[in-house]
Amino acid sequence: MLDESFRILIAAVICWLNFMTVDLIFKLPESGGVCGATAIAQEVEKGGGNLNGGFMMGNIVSSPDASAGTLLASCGVFCAGLFGGLFAAVLVYIGNRICYDPGYAGTTGCITATLIVYGATQVGFAASDFIAGMVIAILTIQGISYVHASRLIARLWKVRCRLLRGCR
Partner 1 sequence: MIAIYVCAGIAVYAALRVIFQRNTMRKLPFLNVVSFAVTGIIALLLPHPITIAAAAAYFVGSTLESNAIASTWAGGMKKDE
Instruction: List contacts with partner 1 (CB under 8 A).
Output: 4-5, 8, 34-40, 43-44, 47, 57-58, 60-64, 67-68, 71-72, 74-76, 78-80, 84, 87-88, 91-92, 94-95, 98-100, 126, 128-129, 131-132, 134-136, 138-139, 142-143, 146
Give the whole-angstrom CA distance, residue 137 versus residue 24: 16
Q: Give the shortest CB-43-to-partner 1 separation in angstroms.
A: 4
- Indicate the residue among 90 and 164 with the shorter CB distance to partner 1: 90
Give the whole-angstrom CA distance, residue 40 versus residue 9: 29
- Indicate the residue among 36 and 161 with the shorter CB distance to partner 1: 36
Give the whole-angstrom CA distance, residue 106 versus residue 39: 21
Radius of gyration of the chain, Cα coordinates, nearest whole angstrom: 16
Handedness of CA 136, 121, 72, 115 (dihedral sign): positive
Using alpha carbons only, give the angle 31, 103, 105 rounded to the nearest 5 degrees: 95
Q: Give the shortest CB-141-to-partner 1 separation in angstroms.
A: 8
- Indicate the residue among 34 and 165 with the shorter CB distance to partner 1: 34
